């Protein structure tokens, strides 16, 4: 049975069982769905530990729980290990399979705990003065290497704790900065960095101290806001740690390349860099099971322009590195070795999908193990490959890649999903800029009836090196618009990821022309091939770069749209190039420094075309967005108001570049839905 057919069969069974209760999918459904993530398989392949996030609506936040299931007993219910954790539980198995380690805040701070395999009883392993951000276990079971946020002037955790406490007592609030940017993502920098510490594991009592492996290192070894333990690895002999980081003391936000470093797990010596290149960034170090080779990902050129992440394997004795799967023009992500070291597993976006690939470690031959949909994470153990898979019509569930085809391991939230059947979707392709093939998706509205015309939400993704592909999203989710009665059209314009390196990099220096041509041609194609799309009742919506494109459309392609929605969008590229938390990004995307070639900025700068604005625009922006700072949204809203263009501003003081709080998410959709209904006169159901 093909993978998509299997998923469809499950969805059909659920829909038939709940026909009487069927209703459109809503924003609150999206916000309150249970979310499965982070599967990890025990070394013997029997147990799978994973995280499930639930929503506390009244508290306006999410909580995590740690579950374990038995792969060998499909009918057995999963076992709860720990619930009501404020963050992800990060389950990890010891190399001998006897222990399941995880992160818990039950003691008052994020510390490492463990439970025996097959048991739900757990006890703390650490009681450190500072919280654990992420961690890895040594193969010999004697050491944990953890990332901890600490002042680099401190060589001990106790010193770091004392510095934090002293800082909290200072009444003066001013801070002096001398780096390229004083803030990152949603916080002002405070001089602390995520550094590595080695913790001795004891059966007697929780560890209260740790040895600094990177004392004085002035750069995050685990990147923020979403970095994880893939930034570092412990060697199979348990004697060393290999990590990836930008150079110590380098400026945050300028795109300094990452290098690979090695440090003894016993500490006592500064990290030694493998080699340095001004033009190459190396990351995701993954030692082979025998310790003789190191797999890693390497990008040449500015990482801000989406160079292909190539899969490299280095012989650690000779130092010789070679590329695997060189003929596959895709950018690889997460890595894992097979237990026997013959195969590397890696993720890569591929034409609107995110696939799991198996790469022969000798020949470099690559084979896709999954088909359509989006593989979010995976783990490999003896006789087992387990992964999470989601799609436009399905949130994530865990699957076992068995020889007879994928087997579902989890069914989290399916009773709720059975009440809200997902809308059908299809992928299309057309000839875009430069005569090249461009892809997109159309999603039908809930309760679709042939012969009817439906208003359209034209969604434009951010990045710009992103994709609105066959994946589930807890922020911009087409099924919510479908539930409101809208058809959805999405186009992966030039610059999008998953279509090859040249396709992704073609947007550099061309933010306003090549992607716009693709969007225009994609819109024309979608209307011509889907007679249910009402081209006279359509709204264009985008966030981040997509918000930039909405502002650009307002001045350069206003005719098709009855309304616009601009979320956290770039309005003035010139100001953005100086004020964003990653100024190196805008320079790389402009293909020139702003002061060197102003024309590279002004040619496609939306602020220069405000005189053409006529379409009603809803502007949404957040107070803690340092990626696209608040003045960008305020500028767009001010421009619309000064032009007497019908406009509204939705402002979230407590959100960053993403709207994450459940009730804020529902308000976001409610405001967007009301705005679209006002201008499209849609007969739709409010979210």
* Residue 3: inside a domain: no
pLDDT score for 219 = 96
Return the SS3 of 193. Answer: strand
pLDDT score for 21 = 65
In the predicted model, is pLDDT for residue 1 greater than 80?
no
Contacts of 492 (CB under 8 A, 6+ apart): 352, 438, 439, 440, 461, 467, 468, 469, 498, 499
pLDDT digits (tens, 9 = 90+) for 593-620: 999 999 999 999 999 999 999 999 999 9
Q: Which pLDDT band, with edges at 50, 70 and 90, does 179 fall under?
A: confident
Domain containing residue 472: 423-680
pLDDT score for 618 = 98
Nearest to 456 by CA among 542, 535, 549, 517: 535
Mean pLDDT to the nearest integer, 240-252: 95
C-alpha separations of 466 from 2, 565, 635 in Å:
27, 19, 25
| Residues taking part in catalysis | 544, 625, 657
Mean pLDDT to the nearest integer, 113-133: 97
Nearest to 491 by CA among 449, 460, 517: 460
pLDDT score for 6 = 34
pLDDT score for 8 = 38
Compute CA 511 distance to the chain's CA centroid, rounded to the nearest angstrom: 22
* Residue 634: inside a domain: yes
C-alpha separations of 432 from 119, 435, 603 in Å:
56, 6, 21
* Residue 270: inside a domain: no
Beta bridge partners of 595: none
pLDDT digits (tens, 9 = 90+) for 334-370: 999 999 999 999 999 999 999 999 999 999 999 999 9
* Residue 583: inside a domain: yes
Return the SS3 of 280. Answer: strand
Computed over every residue of the chain, the mean pLDDT equals 94
* Residue 456: inside a domain: yes
Mean pLDDT to the nearest integer, 391-401: 97
Mean pLDDT to the nearest integer, 222-244: 96
CA distance 389 to 232: 25
Mode of pairing for the β-strands spanning 487-492 and 454-460: parallel
The sign of the dihedral angle between the CA atoms of 548, 550, 554, 557 is positive
pLDDT score for 403 = 74
Backbone phi, then psi, for 636, in 5-degree steps? -65, -45
Q: Are 56 and 64 in contact (CB under 8 A)?
A: no
Count the domains in the chain: 1
CA distance 440 to 487: 13
In the predicted model, is pLDDT for residue 263 greater than 50?
yes
Compute CA 482 distance to the chain's CA centroid, rounded to the nearest angstrom: 23
Q: Are 363 and 350 in contact (CB under 8 A)?
A: no
pLDDT digits (tens, 9 = 90+) for 305-333: 999 999 999 999 999 999 999 999 999 99
Mean pLDDT to the nearest integer, 545-565: 98
How far is it between the farthest Cα atoms of the chain? 74
Q: Which pLDDT band, with edges at 50, 70 and 90, does 402 fall under?
A: confident
* Residue 324: inside a domain: no
pLDDT score for 16 = 38
* Residue 673: inside a domain: yes
Which of the pair, 498 or 415, is modelled with greater confidence? 498
Rounded percentage of the chain residues whose pLDDT exceeds 70: 96
pLDDT score for 529 = 98
CA distance 55 to 59: 9
pLDDT score for 686 = 42
Q: Which pLDDT band, with edges at 50, 70 and 90, does 404 fall under?
A: confident
Rounded percentage of the chain residues whose pLDDT exceeds 90: 92
* Residue 306: inside a domain: no
What is the CATH number for 609? 3.40.50.1820
């Amino acid at each position: 049975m093909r993978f998509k057919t299997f998923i469809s069969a499950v969805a059909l069974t659920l829909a038939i069982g709940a026909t009487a209760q069927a209703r459109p999918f809503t924003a609150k459904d999206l916000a309150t769905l249970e979310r499965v993530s982070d599967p990890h398989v025990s070394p013997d392949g029997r147990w799978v530990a994973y995280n499930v996030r639930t929503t506390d609506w009244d508290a306006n936040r999410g909580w995590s729980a740690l579950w374990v299931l038995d792969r060998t007993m499909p009918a057995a219910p999963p076992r709860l290990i720990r619930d009501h954790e404020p963050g992800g539980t990060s389950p990890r198995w010891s190399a001998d399979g006897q222990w399941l380690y995880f992160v818990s805040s039950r003691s008052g701070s994020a510390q490492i705990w463990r439970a025996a395999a097959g048991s739900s009883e757990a006890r703390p392993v650490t009681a450190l003065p500072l919280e654990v951000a992420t961690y890895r276990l040594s193969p010999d079971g004697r050491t944990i290497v953890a990332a901890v946020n600490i002042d680099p002037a401190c060589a001990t955790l106790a010193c770091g704790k004392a510095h934090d406490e002293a800082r909290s007592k200072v009444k003066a609030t001013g801070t002096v900065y001398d780096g390229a940017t004083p803030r990152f993502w949603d916080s002002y920098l405070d001089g602390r960095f995520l550094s590595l510490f080695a913790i001795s594991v004891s059966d007697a009592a929780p560890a209260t101290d740790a040895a600094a492996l990177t004392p004085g290192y002035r750069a995050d070894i685990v990147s923020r806001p979403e970095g994880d333990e893939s930034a570092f690895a412990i060697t199979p002999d348990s004697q060393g740690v290999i990590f990836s980081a930008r150079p110590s003391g380098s400026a945050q936000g300028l795109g300094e390349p990452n290098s690979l470093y090695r440090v003894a797990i016993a500490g006592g010596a500064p990290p030694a860099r493998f080699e340095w290149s001004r033009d190459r960034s190396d990351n995701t170090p993954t030692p082979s099971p025998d310790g003789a080779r190191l797999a890693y990902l390497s990008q040449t050129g500015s990482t801000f322009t989406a160079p292909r992440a190539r899969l490299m394997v280095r012989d650690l004795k000779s130092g010789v590195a070679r590329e695997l799967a060189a003929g596959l023009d895709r950018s690889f992500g997460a890595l894992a070795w097979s237990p026997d070291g013959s195969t590397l597993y890696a993720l890569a976006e591929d034409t609107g999908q995110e696939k799991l690939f198996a790469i022969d470690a000798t020949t470099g031959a690559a084979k896709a193990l999954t088909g359509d949909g989006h593989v979010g994470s995976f783990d490999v153990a003896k006789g087992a490959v387990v992964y999470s898979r989601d799609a436009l019509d399905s949130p994530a569930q865990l699957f076992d890649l068995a020889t007879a085809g994928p087997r579902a391991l989890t069914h989290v939230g399916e009773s709720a999903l059975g009440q809200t059947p997902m809308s059908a979707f299809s992928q299309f392709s057309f000839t875009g800029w430069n005569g090249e093939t461009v892809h997109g998706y159309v999603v039908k509205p809930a309760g679709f009836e042939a012969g009817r015309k439906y208003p359209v939400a034209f969604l434009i993704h951010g990045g710009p090196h992103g994709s609105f592909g066959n994946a589930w999203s807890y922020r911009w989710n087409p099924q919510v618009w479908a539930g409101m009665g809208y058809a959805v059209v999405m186009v992966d314009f030039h610059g999008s990821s998953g279509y090859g390196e040249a396709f992704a990099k073609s947007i550099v220096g061309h933010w306003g022309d090549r992607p716009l041509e693709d969007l225009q041609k994609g819109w024309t194609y979608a209307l011509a091939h889907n007679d249910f799309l009402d081209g006279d009742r359509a709204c264009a919506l985008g966030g981040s770069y997509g918000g930039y494109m909405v502002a650009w459309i307002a001045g350069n392609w206003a005719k098709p749209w009855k309304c616009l929605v601009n979320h956290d969008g770039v309005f003035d590229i010139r100001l953005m190039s100086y004020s964003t938390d990653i100024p190196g990004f805008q320079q790389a995307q402009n293909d020139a420094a702003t002061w060197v070639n102003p024309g590279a900025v002004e040619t496609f700068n939306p602020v220069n075309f405000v005189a053409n604005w006529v379409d009603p625009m809803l502007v949404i922006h957040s107070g803690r967005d340092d990626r696209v700072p608040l003045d960008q949204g305020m500028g767009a809203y001010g421009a619309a108001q000064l032009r007497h263009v019908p406009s509204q501003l939705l402002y979230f003081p407590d959100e960053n570049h993403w709207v994450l709080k459940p009730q804020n998410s529902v308000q976001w959709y409610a405001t967007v839905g009301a705005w679209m209904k006002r201008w499209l006169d849609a007969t739709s159901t409010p979210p």
